[in-house]
Amino acid sequence: MDPSALPQHQKAATVARALQAEILQGQYGADGQLPTEPELVERFGVARETVRRALQLLKDTGVVASVQGSGTFVRRRPLRTTLRRELPPQGGPADWTDHGSEAWVPLDSSATWSSGRVPIELAESVRLEGEVAVWSCVLGVEEPRVPLQLVRTYIPMHVAAKVAVFDGGAPGGAAVLEHLEATDPALSWSLAVGARMPEPGEAATLSTPIGIPFIQTLRITRQAGAVVEATEYVVSSERFRITHRPDQAPVA
């Protein structure tokens, strides 16, 4: 099909699909360079802005990457690792790969509690309305520094006051759970695994194109039926797949 004969809004998508098909067929090699923008303009008979939009579509889905001053290249995707995950109710995740337990550590030493709100995409599951206390952390490998997972905990303000999180009384979500369990062991947990699209800042942190979804694990803690803690763990679906550990409970 001649892209130049299509409506303007379809031209970029058509060029992108044609280039992606050639990439999948190995025409440019594993990490080869694509034709230049002028060459693509001449080949497809479209405006340069259309070519740029087509290349941006491929970048957003992780198919290609730009190198400043050099051009656009086929992006070598990371090998996907199977992540066997155990999420104990009392603390953070224990993750295993084929290489054994992953010793992921916090990479952001400045992470602290702040006030905020539960994002719209979590509101139906978490059911915490109004202002809440929020803890955010980036986990990964320290040497070399590789961010692999984003963790975000939400707790109601009355729990935040009880645990004195804003006074440095609880360094993270795991400490909140320990405190709650010590004062009232009649807690219940639920775990769910799903997916969501990353925000631009999140995608940049985990070096994931914005068109590739995150795998999301959501733990919700309830006390007398009311949510007192919710923690979201996200990793790139391009880098990981998650499996259960049937010999452990609970798992995610």
Residue 15 sits in a domain whose CATH number is: 1.10.10.10
- C-beta separation of 216 from 232 below 8 A: yes
Q: Please check whether residues 122 and 15 belong to one and the same domain.
A: no
Domain count, the chain: 2
Q: Please check whether residues 97 and 179 belong to one and the same domain.
A: yes
pLDDT tens for residues 191-233? 888 999 999 899 999 988 888 999 998 989 998 889 999 999 9
Rounded Cα distance, 235 and 215, in Å? 5
Residues composing the chain: 252
Q: Please check whether residues 66 and 88 belong to one and the same domain.
A: no
Q: Please check whether residues 69 and 94 belong to one and the same domain.
A: no
How far, in whole angstroms, is CA 10 from its chain's centroid? 29
Q: Please check whether residues 52 and 113 belong to one and the same domain.
A: no
**Whole-prediction pTM value?**
0.77
Indicate the helix (H) or strand (E) that contains 205: helix 200-205
Q: Which of 119, 138, 135 is nearest to 127 (CA)?
A: 119
**Tokens standing for residue 210:** 């914005």
Q: Please check whether residues 174 and 229 belong to one and the same domain.
A: yes
* Mean pLDDT value across the chain: 83
Rounded Cα distance, 142 and 157, in Å? 33
Q: Please check whether residues 150 and 199 belong to one and the same domain.
A: yes
Answer whether residue 248 is part of any domain: no
Confidence band (pLDDT; 50, 70, 90) for 244? low
Range of the domain at 145: 81-243
